[in-house]
Amino acid sequence: MIAAPLARADGQDTTAKPTVDSLAARLESLERSVTLLREQLAAQAASGAGTRSRSALEFSGRVLLNSFINYGRSNNLDVPTVAVASASSYQDKSAGATVRQTILSVTAQGSKLWGADASGFVEVDFFGGQQTGAGGRKLFPEPRLRFMRATLAWANAELMVGQDVPLLTPIEPVGIASLGSPGFAVAGNLWFWLPQVRATVNLGESGPVHWALQGAVVAPWSGGDVIAGDADAADIGERQRTPTLQARLRARWGEDEMRGEVGLAGHYGRMGTSGDSALTSSAVALSWQLPVAGWLDIRGEAYTGQMLRGLGGGGAGQNFGVDAGGAPIPLRDTGGWLQFNVKPDASWTIGAGCGRSEPNIDDRPSRTRNDACESHVIWRPGGLPVIGLEYRQIQSTYRTAGFARTQQLNLTVGVEF
């Protein structure tokens, strides 16, 4: 029989306890650690960027090197949108690399105004032009403002002033080879980033779907057309002195990778001509982003209207056709784009799509159609690096000169942060 250990007669516990000196040493060590942590946090706060309003700042961006090989002539070597007829066999091929599609962004948030969450966003790239000479795009890329938004967000409404995509067609294709001009520009994607005031009002929910009504007052713009002999060289949209109006009914559901959206929108503007006469720019459009599954995304837009060059290449980059007598007339146009993106895992995005802008042939446009197709693979192995490979083909059809075709293979290497 095994006897149990006997308790001490005085009833004291024999388990070891920390001494007073041991507790004091631990407390001193903890105080030193807290002091060091405070010093480190103070140094980080002193060296970090801040705002006068003490709002939280977030910096993000993409540093990208785009290298390319072209077969066929186009309007732009690194991001072609229109094919141009060949001049000689030598000019049909080109290759190069640029960093001017690098993007830098700043977001500020955390302030309150009139009961709303106030935030600001600015994004720039280096696609603003190039110095004279063939090396200009490589050696002297010029900064360009892409987006600028100041937003007030309430529980059921939002007000934004700044520069943004057209409310008519706000969804953009996926890709990193065509950022200076988004994918399918002049081939069904109305994308110009224009100054505007935009309001959104939530209409309520229908099951998982959130409905909203949006409206925008947009700076008038035709895309650069001017009245012959105008001493000010004012754009014909600015010459009319009235803003463009856009409205959209939006349905949205889901979150993160499964967030979907469908919108039906309208556009109306006026373009000034000689004297007091004016022409109408108008359109209706349907846009969608459909997460069929966590690994498959289908997105696109379709529109019909007239005089849409000022929204980003509508009318295959034209506002006017000509009548039988050769006089300019508003050019009617139908277009759109469709893209499929597959994500087999978090690192890979594989996709393809096509777009088309097809002016009404009865309006006798100079360019009767512009088609663009692309396929892409994007790899984000984790952390900062990103690598993308894209192939695109553009075919432009001309009323009196047949068609021209250009092809590009683009390799993009960079980091995202």
pLDDT in tens, 198-209: 999 999 999 999
Cα angle 163, 168, 172 (rounded to 5 degrees) comes to 75
Rounded to whole angstroms, how far apart are CA atoms 389 and 286?
29
Over range 376-399, report the average pLDDT: 96
The pLDDT tens digits of the residues spanning 369-379 come to 999 999 999 99
DSSP symbols for 143-178: PEEEEEEEEEE-SSEEEEEEEES-TTS------SS-
Over range 201-230, report the average pLDDT: 91
Which residues are CB-contacts of 307 (< 8 A; sequence separation ≥ 6)?
222, 269, 271, 279, 280, 281, 282, 314, 315, 319, 320, 330, 331
What's phi and psi for 82, nearest 5 deg? Answer: -140, 135
Round the average pLDDT of the chain to a whole number and report it. Answer: 88
Whole-model pTM: value is: 0.85
The pLDDT tens digits of the residues spanning 121-158 come to 999 999 987 665 555 566 678 899 999 999 999 999 99
Per the CB < 8 A criterion, the answer to whether 318 and 206 are in contact is no
| Per-residue pLDDT band at 6 (split at 50, 70, 90) | very low
The residues facing 21 across adjacent strands are none
Q: Which of 33-47, 96-110, 138-152, 355-369 has the least mean pLDDT? A: 33-47
- The pLDDT value given to residue 414: 97
H/E stretch holding 216: strand 209-218
In order of 44, 108, 148, 369, the CA distances from 53 in angstroms are 19, 10, 18, 51
H/E stretch holding 33: helix 20-47
Query: Which of 267, 278, 59, 77 minimizes the C-alpha distance to 167?
Result: 267
- The pLDDT value given to residue 5: 43
- The pLDDT value given to residue 308: 97
Phi-psi region of 175 (alpha: psi -120 to 50; beta: other; left: phi over 0): left
- The pLDDT value given to residue 112: 86
Query: Which of 105, 142, 100, 102 minimizes the C-alpha distance to 120?
Result: 105
Which residues are CB-contacts of 327 (< 8 A; sequence separation ≥ 6)?
none
Rounded to whole angstroms, how far apart are CA atoms 173 and 79?
15
In terms of average pLDDT, the best of 109-123, 157-171, 314-328 is: 157-171
